[in-house]
Amino acid sequence: MYHDALGLWRGKMELSLVYVTCSSVDEAQTIAETVIVEKLAACSNVIPAMISTYVWQGKLTHSEEVLLLLKTKTALFEKLRTRIRTLHSYETPAIVALPIAAVDDDYLKWLESGVE
């Protein structure tokens, strides 16, 4: 791990941005508040009103969904995924961790203070 000339942290993929689709703003906020209080994620963004297109049970489907983004340590992904599944209304929720390759140093320190 190192910091580059811009003060960005770069190194092994130790941080993740977790992408979760939800049925409503209320569901996304409930999940976000729970995992933040439990220190499984440092912060969230709830982005309302997106349209998802997919095949479900053999039928082309279009759904209005809400995007929940969570920032966390990659090592916490399994605990976070398990907790989200207990709170989520979907039978098969989209819970996808994306590695964070670089991050502002001050934001990194803040993020690390918010998770276990």
> How many C-beta atoms surround the C-beta of residue 111 within 10 A?
20
Domain span including residue 10: 2-113
Between CA 71 and CA 63, with CA 88 as vertex, the angle to 5 degrees is 95
Q: What is the mean pLDDT of residues 88-105?
A: 92
Question: What is the rounded CA–CA span in Å between residue 30 and residue 35?
Answer: 9
Strands (E), 11-109: 15-22, 43-56, 59-73, 95-99, 102-104
The per-residue pLDDT for range 18-32, each reduced to its tens digit, is 999 999 999 999 999
From CA 91, how far away is CA 86, in angstroms rounded? 10
| DSSP 8-state class, residue 79 | H
Number of domains in the chain: 1
pLDDT (tens digit per residue) in 23-76: 999 999 999 999 999 999 999 999 999 999 999 999 999 999 999 999 999 999
Q: What is the CATH number of the domain that holds 42?
A: 3.30.70.120
